[in-house]
Amino acid sequence: MSDSQTFRRAFRDFRDGFSQRELWLSLGWQDIKQRYRRSVLGPFWITIATGLQAAAMGVLYATLLDQPLSEYLPYVTVGLIVWNVIQASILEGSEVFIANEGLIKQLPSALSVHVYRLVWRQFLFFAHNSVIYLALLVVFAVWENLSFASLLAVPAMILLFLNAMWVSIVFGIFATRYRDIAPILGSTTLMLFVLTPVMWTTKTLQTQVGAGDRARLVEIIPTFHYLEIVRAPLLGEPQALRHWVVVGAITVVGWIIAVLAMKQFRSRVPYWV
């Protein structure tokens, strides 16, 4: 076996990449500044765009589904904020090495640097969008529903970004080798958005006669569980243990696949890009 295809080299790549945090922290922040260069509001356009989208969809679907706006708008807004992280992990993750072709070929750094950079950038987006959630706490008195159980949102967010890392590694490596994977993931993500209760609620189905059993079908959608472990504590809603179990199991399996992919294909990525 080649020395480049060992677990030792794979774990060393993760360690070396993390030790170069000054590089990926700077690059991730520069990505955001570059996107909003010469803009008066700068990165806060991220917050404004997400807020307007959530407001438009929240008002529309609350009317169509006959839901109280004070409950439905926070539900949709938090769902969109979390979904943006999930979507970026899949779509941008599949392009993470292709988009950094120049740096990979010219800069002697660990491959994981580009993954850390992507996840850091998504965390900054998430932090900017969290301002909307803070506004909802006051405007719709969401804070009245919060309890000590709401602190579970912190480990839930950590799990969310840990999964964003392995998703970026796995999809990034295989999409670099097989370029048809990226457009397939684009279509799959759109389908997941429709199937995942971001804009609709399972409670609505459960209250309809004969729809309770059909509402349980959403349990087979992995993204539903990620959404619930973050959204429920942030809104002060009851949390089900099964969501944590599913997310925990996927996280373990996902990281095993990511480590195996790094072990086997890490040294080939510079040739594939």
Confidence of residue 121 (pLDDT cuts 50, 70, 90): very high
Residue 92 has pLDDT above 70, yes or no: yes
Instruction: Residue 4: count other Cβ atoms within 10 Å of its Cβ.
Output: 13
pLDDT, greater one: 127 or 43: 127
Confidence of residue 105 (pLDDT cuts 50, 70, 90): confident
DSSP 8-state symbol, 219: G
Counted domains in the chain: 1
d(CA 200, CA 214): 14
Residue entry with tokens 């070929």: 105
Instruction: Residue 79: count other Cβ atoms within 10 Å of its Cβ.
Output: 24
Distances (CA, A) of 159 to 28, 187, 246, 252: 20, 25, 12, 11
Per-residue model confidence as pLDDT tens digits over 234-248: 999 988 899 999 999
Confidence of residue 67 (pLDDT cuts 50, 70, 90): confident
- At residue 43, φ and ψ (nearest 5 deg) are -60, -15
% the chain with pLDDT above 70 = 91
Q: Which residues of 155-166 are buried (b: 16+ CB within 10 A; e: fewer)?
A: ebbebbeebbbb
Residue 2 has pLDDT above 80, yes or no: no
Residue 1 has pLDDT above 80, yes or no: no
d(CA 104, CA 29): 19
Say if CB 166 and CB 254 are below 8 A apart: yes
pTM for this one? 0.89
Instruction: Residue 123: count other Cβ atoms within 10 Å of its Cβ.
Output: 16
Residue 23 has pLDDT above 50, yes or no: yes
Distances (CA, A) of 197 to 60, 64, 127, 219, 226: 15, 15, 22, 10, 11
Confidence of residue 178 (pLDDT cuts 50, 70, 90): very high
User: How distant is the alpha carbon of residue 210 from its chain centre?
Assistant: 33
Per-residue model confidence as pLDDT tens digits over 213-234: 666 778 899 999 999 999 999 9
% the chain with pLDDT above 90 = 49
Per-residue model confidence as pLDDT tens digits over 192-202: 998 898 888 87
User: In the prediction, which pLDDT does 40 show?
Assistant: 60
Helices (H), 140-240: 153-177, 181-195, 202-206, 212-215, 222-235
User: In the prediction, which pLDDT does 209 show?
Assistant: 46
Residue 182 has pLDDT above 80, yes or no: yes
pLDDT, greater one: 201 or 3: 201
- Residue range(s) defining the domain that contains residue 152: 3-272
